[in-house]
A and B are shown apart, each in its own frame.
Chain A
Amino acid sequence: MEYTAQDFKKGQPRWCPGCGDHFFLASLHKAMAEIGVAPYNTAVISGIGCSSRLPHYMATYGMNTIHGRAAAIATGCKVANPDLTVWQVSGDGDGLAIGGNHFIHANRRNINLNMILLNNRIYGLTKGQYSPTSPRGFVSKSSPYGTVEDPFRPAELCFGARGHFFARAVATDAPGTVDILKAAYNHKGASVCEILQNCVIFNNGTHDAVYNKEGRAKNAIYVKHGEPLVFGENNEFGLMQEGFGLKVVKIGENGITLKDILVHDAHCQDNTLQLKLALMGDGDGFPVALGVIRDVEAPTYDDAVTAQIEEVKAAKKYHNFAELLETNDIWEVK
């Protein structure tokens, strides 16, 4: 059966006009239609926060649950019914602050979840406190003199938890977002998609450098597996390895040709260079990496649970409650 974005739409979103969530929602509807899994075989599970309202605008099964627990709830849902396609949606507070523990363990276990992290670096629903992704020194209602703590970088957390899939898109970039959502669906295992999303009210401009097409042309690099890492308005720049790090080079200068440019390998087990790509763009002169940065196959938890059950079923001689009772030491009183 063919689906359209309309088949996944429901209700009228209540986010502020201009909120990045609107853009993301449209891309999610589109991606789901292209993926083609029926709405009734899809579950969208969120926690609490502005972005966690998202399931209410989906014509799928779903839950808008409690703060921070979306990944844990999605885990039970997927393990209990592996036939469902499960999307877990959280903001940076829901996913990385109160829900940080579940985020890392879902990655470590490699549950086949599509985990969306809508990162606006602010608490919007509670009206403007800093989040675990706000930069050091960030001034907010709860940090009037600037924060005195370093933020999480989501990719680092994902990789530290042995994550096998990490991709990034800007909410306003529909094709880029749809691309990574489809890649996340196609990846078997926990797939983290970081969506850079603007909060027009409490953190306006946080992703300005890459929020429009012109900015992305200058300040972002679209990474594609098997292709050289080039960027710039005319693809005139590229990335090369230098020592333990990366460097930006201009193609055609100093004898550098396209052949010298690092070729992206999203499937490489070793995540060292993928992490370097993921961490670029923090005011360091490097572009922000967009696209699928890491996509490595590994056994999934839900498959392994099912396989183990089948294995033990074949090996053991008891398969119902009555037979289970007979495995005990039994005596008869006459």
Chain B
Amino acid sequence: MTVKELDQVVVRFSGDSGDGMQLAGNIFSTVSATVGNSISTFPDYPADIRAPQGSLTGVSGFQVHIGAGKVYTPGDQCDVLVAMNAAALKTQLKYAKPNATIIIDTDAFKKADLEKAAFQTEDPLAELGVDPDRVIACPLTQMVKDALADTGMDAKAVLKCRNMFALGLVCWLFSRDIEIAFNYLRDKFAKKPELAEANIKVIQAGYDYGHNTHSSAMNVYRIESKQKEPGRYMDITGNKATAYGFIAAAEKAGLKLYLGSYPITPATDVLHELSKHKSLGVTTVQCEDEIAGCSSAVGASFAGALAVTSTSGPGICLKSEAMNLAVIMELPLVVLDVQRGGPATGLPTKSEQTDLLQVLFGRNGESPMPVIAATSPVDCFDAAYQASKMALEHMTPVVLLTDAFVANGSAAFKLPNLAEYPAINPPYVPEELKGTWTPYMRAENGTRYWAVPGREGFTHILGGLEKDNKTGAISTNPENHDLMTRLRQQKINNIEVPDLEVIGDVDDADLLIVGFGGTYGHLRAAMDELRAQGKKVAHAHFKFINPLPKNAAQVLKKYKKVVVAEQNMGQLAAFLRMKVDGLVPYQFNQVKGQPFVVNELVSAFNEILNK
């Protein structure tokens, strides 16, 4: 047995939906992150409500990418595939590299299992063309039963520990310190110590199995940490980071956080997360529909809360009218759109970037609305904070775009210090304006003042009808409507956003790679790979889409070739062409519901470079 040094490795845990693959993957990523590796994870779960056990549609996967240096994506294909049953092997093999190590539980490859997974022969490895030398085939279920034989646990509970055996084996393969996993479990099951100890026993058994058998003389690997950034960390998914960002912003602004929502995949976890934190005063209302989710948030905003509504694309369709009400009433509101595959119900559990033009333009009338797109699971925190700050300080609804990939993926999150975040100062109407104030009086930056009910001397009526700029009364005056339309637009134009940053060969790139939101990691990794091949490339990624960063046109026109890569049919490209005179970018468009594959990006960009 040899120990090989690796820069990075991708492990994919796969099994039945109930096999606990997510937990095994989470523990593995935490163990790795604790020693300073960079991590990025992504769960891939089936859309079926509860597919039959052992069936092809019931397989769920959890991919973990760990690196000595920074990793930006969960990885294209895995170096190690754990397949807890025959169906998992069959469906997940396509995510494994040709030379990947495959761990299987032979106890879940019996005749019935093979039939459920629609294998034609009794030799699944041969049928799939897998070299048996790459496979660690162990009677995993039996060994778990043996390990827990004297615990008195019932058969069902014993089987639930199978994932920990696989975890132990993977920990051995990558020379991980399993004590960290033990501590994790003791913490997690603090109220059920016997459960923690059973799981620990099984991890140890898996680890020992690898160690004792050298698992058919495979290599063992080490991933050293090269770019440690000291600090305290936690693992966080994009949805949880989004929820935390709202909580942080409300606390900073000194406001109550109100969420009006209706459950919808893949945004529901934000509702779940915020519903937990009543001890922070968070108010969540699960409404009767998407319309009420947004409408009630508008009502909460009027009442003086930091109001948020969370949804996915189909929900945006339903919320549009109430979003527009917030536009004309000029009230702060954050609309979270965790994008999924569409149109209609589409691909509810899969990821796309197909709502961009909808959130920019999908409303009646002239309806300018800021749009911010989070670039990674961890960035969801900052993006939610920034969206809240922008809404509150500029008295406008703001759309926060994330997507299923970013929302469900996770990475190590350095605990933020709220004191270091910028203050949030809503434009409350100054007391000295009492008596002369009217609802559409504006501060210097064009923002309407906020008069929250309960304040004496500032009673007023807002509404969906156009109002007179001076008196605030209903007005159909043509000049006034034209003026109000311009004032609402100018208010959004006045919002300051950070400049577009260019990385890579900033001065002399032959190709500028452009994207937005959740594809940041893949485009960044593709750029790194191209530069490693000796190509001159740069990457600019839009997080702030409306208003565009002031230097956007200058950046986009600086390079000979520009490619806009996005998970839609060219929505950002269309928007940029509209906003930047004469820009004709190349496009890379993929709408598969799956994350980009770095290798495919690299070859597509190489083709453009060679044109």
Known: A40-B459, A45-B299, A312-B278. A65 touches B464 (CB 8 A): yes
The B-contacting residues of A in range 58-75, CB under 8 angstroms, are: 58-66, 69, 72-75
Q: Which residues of B contact A55 (CB under 8 A)?
A: 461, 463
Interchain CB contact under 8 A, B299 and A334: no
| Interface positions of A from 313 to 334, Cβ below 8 Å from B | 313, 315-316, 318-322, 324-325, 328-334
Determine if B406 is an interface residue (Cβ-Cβ < 8 Å).
no
A305 CB–B CB distance under 8 Å: yes
CB neighbours of A64 from chain B (8 A):
461-465
Q: Please indicate the chain A residues that have their CB under 8 angstroms from the CB of B462 in the complex.
A: 62-64
Shortest CB distance B322–A (Å): 6
The answer to whether B229 touches A73 (Cβ under 8 A) is no
The yes or no answer to B52 lying at the interface (CB within 8 A) is: no
Any B CB within 8 A of the CB of A275: no
When distances are taken between beta carbons in the complex, the residues of chain A under 8 Å from B188 are 329
Give chain B interface residues in 483-499, CB to chain A under 8 Å: none
Q: B325's contact among A43, A65, A80, by CB below 8 Å, is which?
A: A65
* Minimum distance in angstroms from B224 CB to a CB of chain A: 13
Asked if A66 contacts B325 (CB within 8 A), the reply is yes
Binds A, one of B104-112, B448-456, B590-598: B448-456
- A45 to B, closest residue via Cβ: B299
Instruction: Given A72-B296, A80-B304, A331-B33, decide whether A63 and B278 contact each other with a Cβ distance below 8 A.
Output: no
For B459, what are the chain A residues with a Cβ–Cβ distance below 8 Å? 39-40, 59-62
- Measured CB to CB, the closest approach of chain A to B277, in angstroms, equals 7
Q: Which stretch from B284-292, B522-530, B548-556, B568-576 is at the chain A interface?
A: B284-292
Give B261-315 interface residues, CB cut-off 8 Å to A.
Answer: 277-281, 283, 285, 287-289, 291-292, 295-305, 307
**Chain B contacts for A73, CB-based, 8 A:** 295-296, 298-299, 302, 322
Q: Separation in Å of the A139 CB from the closest CB of chain B? A: 31
Output the nearest chain A residue to B282 by Cβ-Cβ distance. Answer: A309
Q: B34: which A residues are within 8 A, CB to CB? A: 331, 333
The segment from B67-75, B232-240, B352-360 found at the interface with A is: B232-240
List B residues 206-251 near A (Cβ within 8 Å): 225, 228-236, 244, 247-248, 251
The interface bits of chain B over 436-464 (1 if a CB of A lies within 8 angstroms of the residue's CB, else 0) are 00000000000000000111111111111
Q: For the complex, is A77 an interface residue (Cβ under 8 Å from B)?
A: yes
Q: Are B285 and A76 in contact (CB under 8 A)?
A: yes
Judged by a CB distance under 8 angstroms, whether A79 is at the interface is yes
Given A76-B299, A76-B303, A320-B280, decide whether A40 and B457 contact each other with a Cβ distance below 8 A.
yes
Residues of A within 8 A of B416 (CB): 325
Minimum CB–CB distance from B34 to chain A (whole Å) comes to 4
Q: Evaluate contact between B288 and A102: CB separation under 8 angstroms.
A: yes
Contacts of A11 in B (CB 8 A): 473
The smallest beta-carbon distance between A38 and chain B, in angstroms, is: 7
Residues of B contacting A290 with CB < 8 Å? none
Asked if B277 contacts A324 (CB within 8 A), the reply is yes
B153 sits at the interface (CB 8 A): no
Interface-centre pick from A38, A72, A75, A80 (highest chain B CB count, 10 A): A80
User: Which chain A residue shows the least CB distance to B414?
Assistant: A333
Task: For A308, give the chain B residue with the smallest CB separation.
Answer: B278
> Is B187's CB within 8 Å of the partner chain A?
yes
* Structural contact, B234 and A328, CB atoms closer than 8 A: yes
A84 on the interface (CB 8 Å rule)? Answer: yes
When the two chains form their complex, are residues A319 and B280 in contact, meaning their CB atoms are under 8 A apart? Answer: yes
Is A333 within 8 A of B474, CB to CB?
no
On chain B, the residues within 8 Å of A39 by CB distance are 459
User: In chain B, what residue has the closest Cβ to A301?
Assistant: B285
Known: A101-B289, A329-B184. A61 touches B463 (CB 8 A): no
Q: B332 in the interface, Cβ–Cβ < 8 Å?
A: no
Complex interface: chain B residues within 8 A of A320 (CB): 251, 280
Bound-state Cα–Cα, A333 to B320, Å: 45
Pairwise interchain contact B283-A329, C-beta atoms closer than 8 A: no
Min C-beta distance of B598 to chain A, whole Å: 26
Chain B min CB distance to A120 (Å): 21
Does A223 make an interface contact (CB < 8 A)? Answer: no
Interface residues on chain A, number (Cβ under 8 Å)? 57
Asked if residues A330 and B232 are in contact (CB atoms below 8 Å), the reply is yes
Nearest Cβ in chain A — how far from B605, in angstroms?
33
Shortest distance between the CB of B191 and any CB in chain A (Å): 14
Q: Specify which chain B residues have a CB less than 8 angstroms from the CB of A328 in the assembled complex.
A: 234-236
Complex alpha-carbon distance, A235 and B285, angstroms: 48
| B453 pairs with A315, CB closer than 8 A | no
Question: Do the beta carbons of A309 and B460 come within 8 Å of each other?
Answer: no
Complex Cα–Cα for A319 and B34 (A): 27
Chain A 100-118: CB-based contact to B (< 8 A → 1; otherwise 0): 0110010000000000000
Give min CB distance, B266 to chain A, whole Å.
Answer: 21
Known interface pairs A56-B461, A81-B303; A329-B279 also in contact (CB < 8 Å): no
Interface contact B234-A79, CB-CB below 8 Å: no
Chain A's closest residue to B453 (CB) is A61
> How close is B332's CB to chain A, nearest CB, in angstroms?
12
In the complex the two chains form, is B322's CB within 8 Å of A321's CB? no
Q: How far is it, in angstroms, between the C-alpha of A41 and the C-alpha of B303 when the chains are bound?
A: 11
Question: A40 to B295, Cβ gap below 8 A?
Answer: no
Q: Are B299 and A80 in contact (CB under 8 A)?
A: yes
Q: Is A83 part of the contact surface with B, judged by Cβ < 8 Å?
A: yes
Task: Return chain A residues, CB-CB under 8 Å to B197.
Answer: none
Tell which of B234, B256, B281, B296 touches A313, judged by Cβ atoms closer than 8 Å: B281
Are B230 and A76 neighbours in the complex by a CB distance under 8 Å?
no
B-side contacts of A66, CB under 8 Å = 295, 321-322, 324-325, 464
B279 touches A318 (CB 8 A): yes
B415 an interface residue at 8 Å Cβ cutoff?
yes
Measured in the bound complex, the distance between the Cα atoms of B298 and A14 in whole Å is 27
Inter-chain contacts of A309 with B (CB < 8 A): 278-279, 281, 283
Residues of A close to B457: CB separation below 8 A: 40
Q: Once bound together, how far apart are the Cα atoms of A125 and B286, in whole Å?
A: 33
Does A48 reach chain B (CB closer than 8 Å)?
yes
Q: Does the CB pair B295–A334 fall under 8 Å?
A: no
Given A55-B463, A56-B474; A316-B279 close (CB under 8 Å):
yes
> A63 contacts B277, CB within 8 Å?
no
| Distance between B539 CB and nearest chain A CB, rounded to angstroms | 26
Question: How far apart are the CA atoms of A227 and B512 in the complex, in Å?
Answer: 83
CB nearest neighbor in A for B292: A72
B299 with A74: CB separation less than 8 A: yes
Taking CB atoms, residues of chain A closer than 8 Å to B28 are none
The reply to whether B304 and A81 form a contact with Cβ atoms under 8 Å apart is yes
From A60, A79, A81, A324, contact of B280 by CB (8 A) = A324
Give the residue name and chain of the B residue nearest to A102 (CB).
Answer: B292
Which of chain A's residues have a CB closer than 8 A to the CB of B236? 328
Which residue of A is nearest B416, CB measured? Answer: A325
Q: How far is the CA of A11 from the CA of B461 in the complex (A)?
A: 12
The minimal Cβ–Cβ distance linking A82 to chain B, given in whole angstroms, is 9
A63 touches B329 (CB 8 A): yes
Q: Which residue of B lies closest to A14 (CB)?
A: B474
In the complex, the answer to whether A72 meets B291 with C-beta atoms within 8 Å is: yes
Q: Give the interface centre of B33, B300, B329, B459 by most chain A CB atoms within 10 Å.
A: B459
Check: B172 CB closer than 8 A to any chain A CB: no
Q: Are A40 and B458 in contact (CB under 8 A)?
A: yes
Contact partners of B244 in chain A: CB under 8 A: 321, 324-325
Are the C-beta atoms of A321 and B300 separated by less than 8 Å?
no
Q: Give A305 to B278 CA distance when docked, in angstroms.
A: 9
Q: How distant is the Cα of A306 from the Cα of B516 in the complex, in angstroms?
A: 40
Could you tell me which residues of chain B, from 544 to 595, have a CB within 8 Å of some CB in chain A?
none
Q: Which residues of B contact A315 (CB under 8 A)?
A: 279
- Cβ contacts A to B, 11 pairs, < 8 Å: A43-B302, A61-B453, A62-B461, A64-B462, A66-B322, A72-B299, A80-B300, A305-B285, A313-B278, A324-B247, A333-B229
Residues of A within 8 A of B (CB): 11, 38-41, 43, 45, 48, 55-56, 58-66, 69, 72-81, 83-84, 101-102, 105, 305, 308-309, 311-313, 315-316, 318-322, 324-325, 328-334
Query: Other CB < 8 Å A-B pairs besides A74-B299, A80-B258, 9 of them?
Result: A64-B463, A66-B321, A66-B464, A69-B295, A72-B292, A76-B302, A321-B251, A321-B280, A324-B277
The 3 closest A-B pairs by CB, nearest first: A76-B299, A76-B296, A64-B463
